[in-house]
């Protein structure tokens, strides 16, 4: 069997994203005050690369340019191994503080072994 390496399917949205009027509320129900964080300075030689990627995302209708927003978070350009760029958002000061942290406890090894006391396992090398 041979793997077809290097053949990738270009993914693009099938339907255009629709505008949403969602209001962000905390889990307690209170309204969240919008946070507007200014952009981070980008090196001059990297600006065109980042702008080209944003233009590509807008042209593919994955992103949409807007004039004004109450919410804003800095973008973080991440360089991929092939030297292209991935645009990410830095939500640590805008959205993350209002999210509720949900902890899912991991089972202890003793509990896992106790569940399988009557079972037999066979291993071959």
pLDDT at 41: 78
Q: In this structure, are residues 77 and 45 in contact, taking their beta carbons and an 8 Å threshold?
A: no
Q: What confidence score (pLDDT) does residue 55 get?
A: 92
Confidence of residue 81 (pLDDT cuts 50, 70, 90): very high
Question: Alpha carbon of 95 to those of 27, 31, 91: distances in Å?
Answer: 13, 13, 5
Q: Is the pTM of this model over 0.75?
A: no
**22-78 pLDDT per residue, tens:** 666 655 667 777 788 877 777 888 888 889 998 999 998 888 888 888 888 888 889
């Amino acid at each position: 069997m041979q793997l077809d390496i290097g053949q990738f399917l270009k993914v693009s949205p099938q339907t255009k994203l629709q505008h949403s009027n969602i209001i962000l509320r905390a889990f307690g129900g209170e309204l969240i005050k919008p946070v507007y964080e200014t952009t981070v300075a980008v090196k001059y030689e990297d600006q065109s690369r980042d702008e080209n990627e944003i233009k590509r995302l807008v042209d593919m209708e994955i992103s949409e340019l807007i004039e004004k927003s109450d919410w804003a978070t800095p973008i973080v350009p991440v360089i991929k191994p092939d030297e292209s760029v991935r645009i990410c958002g830095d939500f640590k000061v805008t959205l993350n503080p209002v999210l509720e942290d949900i902890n899912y406890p991991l089972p202890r090894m003793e509990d896992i072994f106790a569940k399988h006391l009557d079972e037999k396992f066979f291993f071959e090398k």
